[in-house]
């Protein structure tokens, strides 16, 4: 009898041992399966995490020739033809900007360096044109980069128009990244709507853009038939940034030569327009915003009147062949 119970006890202990082993193996297997599944569903690294402040897929800006505007990557519309105010001061500046607004122009380009922000602000406050229809671009100069917050406040105070539509860094200089960060903060504070750069080219942009948080809405560079930036313009546009050309007539001391250019003059004659209008239209058809300077009300009106004709592909090619790589401004 004792022997029988001994055998039963041994068998029972054996069975208990087997069950414990199976339970342990089942737990281990479940844990391994859990680890395996966890590895499979772990999300892949987001490729945009390296530059979280820029949209990877962007499209080149498109001009709306009916509204005569372009949508910036900041979400605001910018007129594509306006007035540059370099060398205009006091009453001359006031009268020129007044002529622009009366002729239907809405884009005004200035800078702290020009010394005419107060005159421009006065025109806008005196005008019957609603503030929200006017687009003002200003710039801060490299000598102001050491205290960009003060420079921004200075522009706001001198203009005194509530907010600035577009502020640019006038050209590269020591402290430009920090100055750009100050403009970014001003955007967050509602003082500036859009920000950008002036006199930045491919190499400068490649070095600069990874260091900032808000993509430039506009890059403004010298662009005219003798200095066309044939590689720079599409490079900037492919980043979803609008290109704005200054000195479209060649800059100081070169306007007469460009207006008399045989190719440009012949195209102008064929369309019954002026050489100036041909040059501006050529820029617009390349997707380049223009703000030619003038103090002559007739010329200001003429510069806005570039939407009733279109250059042919052949004419665009003829002007493209005028490229000389001839930069007329010092920076």
How many structural domains is the chain composed of? 1
Give the phi and the psi of residue 166 in degrees, each rounded to 5: -150, 125
- Is 23 part of a structural domain of the chain? no
Local confidence band at 49 (pLDDT 50, 70, 90 cut-offs)? very low
Predicted pLDDT at 253: 84
Share of the chain above pLDDT 70, in %: 82
- Is 302 part of a structural domain of the chain? yes
**Residue corresponding to tokens 């990877």:** 56
Least confident of 41-45, 169-173, 222-226, 309-313: 41-45
- Is 200 part of a structural domain of the chain? yes
Beta-carbon contacts of residue 47 (< 8 Å; ≥ 6 apart): 56
In 172-277, DSSP assigns E strands to 192-198, 218-222, 242-246
* Residue count (the chain): 331
What is the CA 68 to chain-centroid distance, rounded? 18
Parallel, antiparallel, or unpaired: how do β-strands 192-198 and 218-222 relate?
A: parallel
Predicted pLDDT at 252: 81
Question: Are the C-beta atoms of 61 and 86 separated by less than 8 Å?
Answer: no
pTM of the model: 0.83
163 is catalytic: no
44 compared with 294, residue with greater pLDDT: 294
Helix axes 117-126, 148-159, angle to 10 degrees: 40
* Catalytic-labelled residue, pool 86, 94, 114, 226: 114
Give the CATH number of the domain where residue 184 resides: 3.20.20.100
- Is 42 part of a structural domain of the chain? no
User: Residue 212: which domain range?
Assistant: 71-320
- Is 124 part of a structural domain of the chain? yes
| Token duo for residue 108 | 């005004």
């Amino acid at each position: 009898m004792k022997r029988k119970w001994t055998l039963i006890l041994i068998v029972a202990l054996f069975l208990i041992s087997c069950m414990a082993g199976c339970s342990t193996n089942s737990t281990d297997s479940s844990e391994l399966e859990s680890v395996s599944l966890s590895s499979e569903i772990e999300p892949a690294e987001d490729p945009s995490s390296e530059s979280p402040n820029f949209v990877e897929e962007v499209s080149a800006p498109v001009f709306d020739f009916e509204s005569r505007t372009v949508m910036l990557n900041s979400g605001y519309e910018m007129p594509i033809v306006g007035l540059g105010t370099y060398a205009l001061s006091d009453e001359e500046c006031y009268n020129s900007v007044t002529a622009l607004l009366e002729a239907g122009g809405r884009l005004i380009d200035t800078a702290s360096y020009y010394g005419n922000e107060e005159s421009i602000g006065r025109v806008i406050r005196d005008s019957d044109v609603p503030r929200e229809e006017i687009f003002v671009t200003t710039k801060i100069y490299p000598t102001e980069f050491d205290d960009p917050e003060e420079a921004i406040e200075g522009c706001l105070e001198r203009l005194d128009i509530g907010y600035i539509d577009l502020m640019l860094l006038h050209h590269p200089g020591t402290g430009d990244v920090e100055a750009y960060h100050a403009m970014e903060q001003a955007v967050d504070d509602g003082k500036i709507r859009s920000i950008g750069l002036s006199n930045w080219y491919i190499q400068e942009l490649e070095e600069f853009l990874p260091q900032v948080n808000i993509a430039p809405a506009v890059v403004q560079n010298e662009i005219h038939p003798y200095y066309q930036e044939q590689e720079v313009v599409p490079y900037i546009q492919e980043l979803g940034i609008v290109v704005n050309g200054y000195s479209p007539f060649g800059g100081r001391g070169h306007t007469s030569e460009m207006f008399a250019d045989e190719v440009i003059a012949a195209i102008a004659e064929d369309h019954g327009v002026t050489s100036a209008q041909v040059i501006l239209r050529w820029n617009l058809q390349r997707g380049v915003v223009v703000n030619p300077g003038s103090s002559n009300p007739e010329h200001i009106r003429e510069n806005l009147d570039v939407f009733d004709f279109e250059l042919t592909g052949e004419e665009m090619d003829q002007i493209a062949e005028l490229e000389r790589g001839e930069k007329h401004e010092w920076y």
